[in-house]
Structure 1
Amino acid sequence: MSTKQKGSNFIPFFDLEKETIRWNQLYKVFSEPKPDIVPTYRELVWKKNKTSLWYHPAKEKKYDIPVFVVYSLLNKAYILDVGEGSSVIGGLTERGYDVYLIDWGSPGYEDKDINLDSYILDYLENAVKRALRHSGVKEISMLGYCLGGTISAIFASITQLPIKNLILAAVPIDFSIGIVPHKWLEGLQTGQLSFDRFSDVYGVIPSEYMYLMFRVLSPMYASPWINLITRANDPKYVSKWRSMDKWTKDTASFAGAAFKQLLNDLYKDNKLLKGELKIGGKLVDLKNIKCSLFVFSTSRDTLILEKQSLPVMDLVSSEDKTYQVFEGGHVSLALTGMFSVFADQWLCHRSQEIQKVLS
């Protein structure tokens, strides 16, 4: 006959080894400097002002068509390349793709007049031309993440450059909804709330203000501490957490002219969805996108809602188009290394696999 010690169901088992690891890891997080981010091997192939174009050659080239990656203007691009096993860029090069990454940099006061037109026509278009010349190919695949996806969609709809495949990840297209508090969004849409004067006074929105804005708008900047304490006994998780923590605090500044255009043309008037946005005098009509299209969202995204991405599927003219939702969050998609897996599963059938000659 077995006996149960009274109260045994209420006292959790204490694993001394596990708890020692947990608290040692937490101590390191608070006491050690932020980790160095070592990028996947790369070469600088083009530069304009603060913006750089990086070339990451494939580990063993398998596909002719390179991938051109466009990240958001709001954050720094190294979240896509934070280390082996977690790198979107590294994952693509390991799968046989040459990769070009446009790194917008962080604007200074002298860049206060740079607007979205300039970023798309003077920076992005010239960077794509350089990538085409450097690679020696006739077409590229473009991969846009977050606001970088919005920029990629705008660019693809007005450019004459040859984009064979377009991937849009966690992309905002409908700006009438989102994580912005309803009253704020309503104020922007009615004109009762305006940041024009704020942008004019500062010229360039300081990185500290951009960081505070993200902290206010997204739980992504608070909940990681809970996750860290819970999983601090896992050194691999802590390593990824520290990289993300560094990135979230290392926000880019934002050119005032582009900031005003973002808020007025996209959030206030929702011109991209309505087909009323003009870039360089050209009307941005998403129907002009005819290339193969892959759009995906994540199930726990606290920054870009699925409803913001879905409309693009009906607005484009692409016959080959796919939409999927993957398990994960806005940033964890990159940090888990799964981003490159999902992209490759679609791209590999559309990127002209190199035929090896048998000797």
Structure 2
Amino acid sequence: MNNPLPFDPANLLAEISTFQNKLAAGISNLRGMTEPEYANTPREAVYREDKLTVWHFKGERPPTAKTPLLIVYALVNTAWMTDLQADRSLVRNLLAQGEDVYLIDWGYPDGADRWLTLDDYINGYLDRCVDAVRKRHDVDAINLLGICQGGAFSLCYTAIRPEKVKNLITMVTPVDFHTPDNMLSHWTRNLDVDLFVDTLGNIPAELMNWVYLTLKPVRLNQQKYVGLVDILDNPKELENFLRMERWIFDSPDQAGEAFREFIKDFYQGNKLVAGTLTIGGKPVDLGMITQPVLNIFAEQDHLVPPDASRALGRHVGTTDYTQLAFKGGHIGIYVSGRAQRDVPPAIHEWLRSRG
């Protein structure tokens, strides 16, 4: 007899049984699981100021690079995406290539940081972090690796203090904030940021996370949790999933005044490419960046569209400018298998070829 139903009952029962088994295994796995740790590549604190810490990482062998590399991460998430887990760690892979790696951990702003400005972050904190690394190595200039908003900070810093930067690397860094495909920019361009900051003070991390998640609401709020069912019975994959969730939702609040300035000057005014940006009264002219620049962007980035990053090549003053397009997204550029295989060696080879 032909089955009048639009599905096979036997297959449906088998799927239900598989789901129940995965769910039962997942509950058991979750009960026995502690909060997943990050990679915790061996490191020591070499500089502290207020909330921030500069970490110096230790590889399995001494570095071969003569010039230290300082990673400047964004303020909107913790810097541990660069050292998420042992097999997905930009830091660990750079160390394996022979780089001498430092990282700024900005910490968690609180009410005492409400009035911190971009001048405080760039001409203050970042400058003193650079000086701390320069002093440790007795060098005039170091290499900078700026990531996302930290890349924008690094561009500003290099334009203002070019004598302290030997080579500059930017990763998934917004430069032109008014490209047509920049959804985040379209959202913020009509924001009354003065009312927003004056009302909230520091910007809550939960609100920032909600904004980022609603850029892709189905993918980031539904599909990934539906897909979670497929790995519930795999303790290793489940741990990896929870570690990523920990990083996403363990985010710092944003210092209100710096947030106000960043939205007004970068997202709304697009002053970085307009040539009208000043930080602490100091002009930021990308044409003053004459040292070698490596610009790495992700082709499927929904937070920093490729065109927003590609614009850098039209504005810097260097004749030694290199672009590297990565097939992936904003987060995949750090944690995917392809990224681990391709990006750190490319960075190291680019730096090595420039002394």
Q: Give 3-state SS (helix, strand or coil) of 1:205's partner.
A: coil
Alignment of 1:131-210 (within 5 A): 131-177=133-179, 178-180=182-184, 182=186, 184-187=187-190, 193-210=191-208
Specify the alignment match of 2:56 in structure 1. Answer: 55
Separation (CA, whole Å) in 1 of partners of 2:278 and 2:86: 40
Partner SS, residue 132 of structure 1 = helix
One-letter code aligned to 1:134:
R
Matched to 1:158, the amino acid is I
- Determine what percentage of the aligned residue pairs are the same residue: 29
Q: Which residue of 2 is the match for residue 3 of structure 1? A: none
TM-score, scaled relative to structure 2: 0.86
**Structure 1 residue 237: Cα displacement:** 3.7
Counting only pairs closer than 5 Å after superposition, residues 278-289 of structure 1 correspond to structure 2 as 278-289=278-289
Please give the alpha-carbon distance, in whole angstroms, between the structure 2 residues aligned to 1:212 and 1:250: 13
The CA deviation string for residues 315-350 of structure 1, in whole angstroms up to 9 with x for no partner, is: 112222111221222112212365465443334345
Mark the CA change 1:62 to 1:24 in structure 2 (over 3 Å): closer, same or farther: farther
Segments of structure 1 that go 5 or more residues without pairing to the other structure are 1-6, 188-192
Amino acid at match of 2:102: Y
Residues 327 and 21 (structure 1), Cα distance of their counterparts in 2 relative to 1, 3 Å cut = farther
**Which shifted more, 216-225 or 121-130?**
216-225
Per the TM alignment, residue 147 of structure 1 is displaced from its structure 2 partner at its CA by 0.8
Q: Distance in 2 between matches of 1:281 and 1:181?
A: 25
CA distance in 1 between partners of 2:352 and 2:266 (Å): 36
For 1:4, the equivalent position in structure 2 comes to none
**Is 1:84 the equivalent of 2:86?**
yes
Letter in 2 for 1:35: P
CA pair 202-12 structure 1, distance change in 2 beyond 3 A: closer
Deviation string for 1:2-39 (max 9, x for gaps)?
Answer: xxxxx99x959969999956862476358844312242
Query: Corresponding residue for 1:214?
Result: 212
Alignment check: 8 A CA contact 2:19 2:229 kept:
no
Which blocks of at least 5 consecutive residues in structure 2 are unaligned? 1-6
Q: Which secondary structure does the structure 2 equivalent of 1:204 belong to?
A: coil
Aligned length: 344
Shift of 1:162: 2.9
- Which residue identity is paired with 1:109? G
| 1:216-265 per-position Cα deviation (integer Å, ceiling 9, x unaligned) | 23446324324433455655443332211111111110001011001111
Aligned equivalents of 1:106, 1:285: Cα separation in 2:
30
Q: For residues 103 and 210 of structure 2, what CA distance do their matches in structure 1 show?
A: 27
Once the two structures are TM-superposed, the CA of residue 53 in structure 1 deviates from its matched residue by 0.6
Distance in 2 (CA, whole Å) between partners of 1:309 and 1:91 is: 24
Please report how far the alpha carbon of residue 197 of structure 1 lies from its aligned counterpart in structure 2 after TM superposition. 2.0
Residue 160 of structure 1 and its aligned partner are, at CA, apart by 3.7
> Deviation digits for residues 61-100 of structure 1, max 9, x if unmatched?
2211221101111111111112211111111112211111
> Which residue of structure 1 lines up, in the alignment, with residue 348 of structure 2?
348
Q: Output aligned runs, 1:21-40, within 5 Å.
A: 24-25=25-26, 28-29=29-30, 32-40=33-41
Alignment partner, residue 69 of structure 1: 71
Structure 1 residue aligned with 2:296: 296
> CA 1:317/1:343 → structure 2, altered by over 3 Å: closer, same or farther?
farther
Higher helix share: 2
TM-score (norm 1): 0.85
Correspondence for 2:305: 305
How many angstroms apart in 2 are the aligned matches of 1:96 and 1:65?
11
Whether contact under 8 Å (2:71, 2:103) holds in the other structure is yes
Equivalence map 1:308-319=2 (5 Å): 308-319=308-319
CA distance in 2, matches of 1:12, 1:297: 44
Deviations 1:251-302 (A, max 9, x none): 1100010110011111111111101110121111111111111112212222
**What letter matches 1:213 in structure 2?**
V
